[in-house]
Amino acid sequence: MGSKERILRHKEEKRCNILEAALDIAKSEGWNSLSMRKIADAIEYTAPIIYEYFSNKEAILKELTRIGYKKLITKLEEAKAEHDTPEKQLEAMWLAYWNFALAETELYQLMFGVEMNCCECETLDIPESDIASEMYRDLIVEILDRNKQNYVSDDICKKYYTFWSVVHGLISINIVRRGAPDDLNEQILRDAITGIIGTMTTK
C-alpha cells in the first residue's frame, strides 16, 4: 500500500471514529447531550481535528442520519427478497422497519426526531431518505394494479402514510417506554399491516 492510500485510510478511520463516538454518546446520554467537545474528549482528539472532518455538530448528525437510512434500506431489501408476492413483501418490509427501529433506536430517533427536543438534521437533501418510501410506494402500486383497483396518485400517498403513521406511532410509543409487551406489540403491528393491505385487495 502506497503512502497516499495509507493517508486516505487513516483519514477514513478518524472519520469513522468520530461518528462512532457520537453514536456512543447518544446511546449513553441521549442526542440532546451531544457536543463536539464531548466527541473530542471521548476519542482523545483535539477539537480542531474534529472540525477538519465535520464543520459542526449538524454535519455529524446528517451523516449519521444518512448511515441510518442506508442500514434501513438494506434491511428492507433483505425482507423483500424473502417473499414472492407484493402483499407478503410489503408486510415483511414493515416488520423489518419495526425491527430496525428497535435494534437501532438511537439512529431511528435521529432520523425521525423521536424523543428529541427537535429534529436537528434536515433530511430532505439526503437521497437515501427517499429510497425507502419509494420502495413502499412501488409495492402499493403493484398491489393495487394486481387487484385492478382504481386509484390516483394521491391514493398512493394516503396508503403509504396510513402504514407509516401506524408503524411509526407504535414505534414511538415503545421508544418512550409506554408500550405493550413485545408479543402484543407484534400482534398489533401485524393486524394493522394486514388490515391496511386488505383495503387494497378488496373492492
Integer angstrom CA distances of residue 197 from 37, 116, 152, 188, 201: 48, 32, 17, 14, 7
What per-residue confidence (pLDDT) applies to 121?
A: 46
Mind listing the domains of the chain with CATH numbers? 1-54 (1.10.10.60), 59-201 (1.10.357.10)
> What is the residue-averaged pLDDT of the chain?
89
Measured distance CA(148)–CA(75) in Å, rounded: 30
Q: How many CA atoms within 13 Å lie on the side-chain side of 116?
A: 23
CA distances 20 to 13, 23, 67, 112, Å, are 10, 5, 11, 19
Reported as a single tens digit per residue, the pLDDT across 87-131 is 999 999 999 999 999 999 999 999 987 655 444 444 457 888 899
Confidence of residue 176 (pLDDT cuts 50, 70, 90): confident
The pLDDT of residue 7 is above 50: yes
Q: Residue 120 has what pLDDT?
A: 43
- The string over 49-84, giving b where at least 16 C-beta atoms fall within 10 Å of a residue's C-beta and e elsewhere, is ebeebbeebeebbbbbbbbbbebbbebbeebbeeee
Those residues with Cβ within 8 angstroms of residue 25's Cβ, 6 or more apart along the chain or in another chain: 33, 34, 38, 39, 42
Tell me the per-residue pLDDT of 29-68, one tens digit each, with 9 for 90 and over.
999 999 999 999 999 998 899 999 999 999 999 999 999 9
